[in-house]
Chains A and B, each alone.
Chain A
Amino acid sequence: MWFYDKKTQYPIKITKPDPRMAIAILTQYGGPNGELAASLRYLSQRFSMPTKEAKATLNDIGTEELAHLEMIGTMVHQLMDKVPPKELEKLHVDTNYVIHGRAVYPSDSNGVPFTAAYIESMEDPIANLNEDLAAEEKARATYDYLINIADDPDVIDPLRFLREREVVHYQRFGETLRIVQETMGRKKFY
């Protein structure tokens, strides 16, 4: 189970609203390479992980992704908060507004709702870990694209932080794959 800590993993204080950037970042909330997909992927796959190192890694990275989901939700909220509807219309983000208002809803930037079809969970740990490496790399690329179109340092800094976490997670999944390869090669399971 989990306990809640009343803080974000990285400080987020956005003072300049930017609804277009909010909608761009929204894809990391409920899009194909987003944090919700990441968390559900790892937390579901952990049940079929064969070694103690692999169980811990999937459990703890899956947990950290929930903290990232909270960071992304916070950014979307702060970028949209209190922006007048007429302003949203001018910026062409009014289609999102007429469906959800200024709420945070798990969809991608085009409004496509979150779906579990974005993830896979198989009994084969090698297949799962290869998917996880790819997922981290795709999320890293998405953060690169977001950083390319952002110009407020209050937005760029947390995006850079999240991008770096993808690199670290890639390394840990890579090490986990090495352990699973070693132990399966010896036909020995924990």
Chain B
Amino acid sequence: MDNLNIATVYTGNNCTGEPIMIPVMPIRPELARAYVPYQLYNKIFSPQESLKKGTVFPELVK
């Protein structure tokens, strides 16, 4: 999980706006705030498999 804390996601759109850097989990989380880990892009299911599973993302099958 340690390396996940360092990984960042650039959510800003390169084409139209200033990128915002968001770590997978906040580096300095605040009290009284809810945080969901930011997803990183990995392998995805085939379209047929996706429809069966309800998502293209294997790591979101829960």
Chain A residues in the interface with B (C-beta under 8 A): 10, 52-53, 130, 133, 160-165, 167-168, 170-171, 173-175, 177-179, 181-183, 190
Contact = CB atoms under 8 A, between A and B. Distances in A.
A96 to B, nearest CB: 29
Given A130-B34, A175-B38, A164 B54 contact: yes
B13 A167 contact: no
Contact of A10 (B13, B37, B51): B51
Given A179-B20, A179-B22, A181-B33, A52 B13 contact: yes
Interface string B15-43: 00100101000100000011111110000
A162 B54 contact: yes
A7 to B, nearest CB: 12
B38 A178 contact: yes
A177 B34 contact: yes
Given A10-B51, A168-B60, A175 B39 contact: yes
A174 B54 contact: no
Contact of A182 (B22, B37, B54, B60): B22
Contacts of A174: 34-37
Judged by DSSP, the binding face of A is helix
Contacts of B57: 168
Contacts of B60: 164, 167-168, 171
A171 B20 contact: no
A148 B55 CA distance: 21
A76 to B, nearest CB: 20
A133 B61 CA distance: 17
B20 A164 contact: no
Given A52-B17, A53-B11, A190-B17, A161 B54 contact: yes
B36 A182 contact: no
B54 A179 contact: no
Contacts of A164: 53-55, 60-62
Given A52-B13, A53-B11, A178-B22, A167 B38 contact: no
